[in-house]
Amino acid sequence: MPKYCANLTWLFTERPLLERFAAAKEAGFDAVEILSPYDVNAQDIVNELAQYELKMALINCPPPNYTGGDQGFAAIPGVEDRFRRDFKRSLRYAKTLGAQHLHVMSGVAEGPDAREVLIDNLRWATAEAPKQSLTIEPINPDTMPGYFMNDFELARDIIDAVNAPNLRLQFDAFHAAKITGDVMTCWSACRDLTVHVQVAQAPDRNEPGPGVIDFPTFFAALDADGYAGWVSGEYKPKADTADGLDWIAPA
């Protein structure tokens, strides 16, 4: 049976961030993820996690670009020093929060130079943090135009090239549907690499209920394949978050 996680960047936004932990616990979640927790005092988040007996599943790296620049730059040539500096800051947050996974974002880039920069940066990062699970996530071009990590075969290529035990795949069913049009086939091809799963229904990124993606079949496949990681709801609720949580009822 899948272990369900709430993405507090997307869910329970009817409340301030520090009040969303209580809402997640009340709804039956045992873990949360926050894409960018850097504006909040880390100890305040630690206190909420402890009070409601929640685990922190994942945060993103790098911290946000307050100048309005692109998200991530691990694949962008010429800013390797910045990547390493900001990675260390993200790693400190991840350790403080007990985050199981740290998602490294590639940023907007293209071509062989970007591929080599991403591989070099990830080789450095995996060696710098050998006990921290790092992930990369293919993101569809409609959601993030120009984003380098936009294909599941590319993700496998990068993971194979880095060849580090602490770098694996973050599988988002919504992005898989948008990129490949066939979530189940994509999952079958990627399950051996996957350590974290995120879900939202396509095409509008709402609750993972009836629609393009057959989520009961997908969740059954996770069980059948022995997937033991978190399944995180990362979606835009159609209304109040609590009114759209039927998808976790089987748990």
User: 71 falls in which pLDDT band (50, 70, 90)?
Assistant: confident
Task: Spell out the SS3 assignment of the chain.
Answer: CCEEEEECCCCCCCCCHHHHHHHHHHHCCCEEEECCCCCCCHHHHHHHHHHCCCEEEEEEECCCCCCCCCCCCCCCCCCHHHHHHHHHHHHHHHHHHCCCEEEECCCECCCHHHHHHHHHHHHHHHHHCCCCEEEECCCCCCCCCCECCCCHHHHHHHHHHHCCCCEEEEEEHHHHHHHHCCHHHHHHHHCCCEEEEEECECCCCECCCCCCCCHHHHHHHHHHCCCCCEEEECCCCCCCHHHHCHHHCCC
Catalytic site residue 137? yes
Dist CA 19 CA 236 (whole Å): 18
User: Which is nearest to 194 in space by CA: 58, 56, 61?
Assistant: 58
Give residue-wise pLDDT tens across range 111-141. 999 999 999 999 999 999 999 999 999 999 9
CB distance 204 to 177 below 8 Å = no
CA distance 236 to 185: 25
Q: Which of 33, 48, 137, 207 is labelled catalytic?
A: 137
| Residue 69 backbone zone (phi > 0: left; psi -120 to 50: alpha; other: beta) | beta
Q: In the chain, what percentage of residues exceed pLDDT 70?
A: 96
Q: Bridge-partner residues for 34, per DSSP?
A: 59
pLDDT tens digits along 142-156: 999 999 999 999 999
Q: Which of 33, 48, 207, 234 is catalytic?
A: 234
**pLDDT, average across residues 225-231:** 97
Q: Is the dihedral of CA 240, 241, 242, 248 positive or negative?
A: positive
Q: Is 234 a catalytic residue?
A: yes
- Over residues 13-67, the pLDDT tens digits come to 999 999 999 999 999 999 999 999 999 999 999 999 999 999 999 999 998 765 5
State the sign of the Cα–Cα–Cα–Cα dihedral 197, 200, 201, 203: negative
Using alpha carbons, list the distances in angstroms from residue 62 to 30, 35, 51, 93, 94.
25, 10, 27, 11, 11
Distance of CA 109 to the CA centre of its chain: 20
* Amino acid 54: pLDDT: 98
For the packed helices 42-51 and 20-27, what is the interaxial angle rounded to 10 degrees?
30
In contact, 217 and 208? CB cutoff 8 Å: no
Whether residue 244 has pLDDT greater than 70: yes
